[in-house]
Amino acid sequence: MADAIFVSTTTHTCLQRFADQATVPVLCMASRTHASIQALSTVMAIIEEYGLMRGLNIGYIGPPHPVLNSYLLLCPMLGANFKFKCCCQKQPVSPLLYKAGENLCSETHTHLEACADKRVVLRNCHVVISGPEKPEKLEEFRLHADDIERENLLRPWIFMHTCPRGKEVDDRLFFHINSRTFTVFENFQYIAAALLAFTIKNMRF
């Protein structure tokens, strides 16, 4: 018998139905809508680096992954500005929670911008996050350390990759002194433990 259940699923509604019928707490690791643990692990790494999120410029270049939805909510909630590029010029895509992110930005007086050009995303970013891309989209989403340094006048910047890593990021950037990708993945265990402790702290077994 489990005291809590972590679930990763491709369908968020199934997760909700499962949680409604469960007799113990159900925690979402990842679904079609969110990648909660990954996003919170990234936030933890950013706060470890800068001390807080407020006033930071966060940029995301990658697919419309569930983790993008989580960033769309977490960044404005924590006072950070967020820019992203998640589609090709010929195939415009709007993330599932883009409107919710816009509403939060209005309430928190932060900035949210969907960009068609990765250079706009990189401009003056404190944090650059990228994700895996399909081979046919590599040219639009490929990133090098020089790209960030050329567009970014703020120092210091840090880089994170959501993994699995493909050819969209070269060795120099992935293993750069400013890369915090491995820090994010180390944080998974702490975020999972914190969520579990928060969920069951007032329960009797």
Q: What would the pLDDT profile of 163-188 be if each residue is shown by its tens digit?
A: 877 788 889 999 999 999 999 999 99
- 101-135 pLDDT per residue, tens: 999 999 999 999 999 899 999 999 999 999 876 66
Sheet holding 57-61, edge to edge: 112-114, 81-85, 57-61, 127-130, 158-161
Which of residues 155 and 24 earns the better pLDDT score?
A: 24
Which pLDDT score, from 0 to 100, does residue 53 have?
A: 96
* Average pLDDT over the chain, rounded to an integer: 88
User: Which among 40, 20, 17, 36 has a CA at the least distance from the CA of 28?
Assistant: 36
Amino acid residing at 158: I
| pLDDT(23) > 80 | yes
Confidence of residue 161 (pLDDT cuts 50, 70, 90): very high
The confidence score (pLDDT) of residue 108 equals 96
Enumerate the β-bridge partners of residue 84.
60, 114
* Pairing mode of beta strands 158-161, 127-130: parallel
* pLDDT attached to residue 89: 60
The pLDDT score that the predictor gives to residue 88 is: 57
Residue 41 has pLDDT above 90, yes or no: yes
Confidence of residue 205 (pLDDT cuts 50, 70, 90): low
Return left, alpha or beta for 62; rule: phi > 0 is left, psi -120 to 50 is alpha, else beta.
left
Residue 59 has pLDDT above 90, yes or no: yes
pLDDT at 93: 60
- 130 strand-pairing partners: 61, 161
Residue ranges of domains in the chain, CATH in brackets: 5-33+187-200 (no CATH), 39-185 (3.40.50.1370)
pLDDT tens, position by position, 86-100? 875 655 566 888 899
**pLDDT score recorded for residue 177:** 94
> Could you tell me which residues come within 8 angstroms of residue 55 by beta carbon, excluding any fewer than 6 positions away?
79, 80, 81
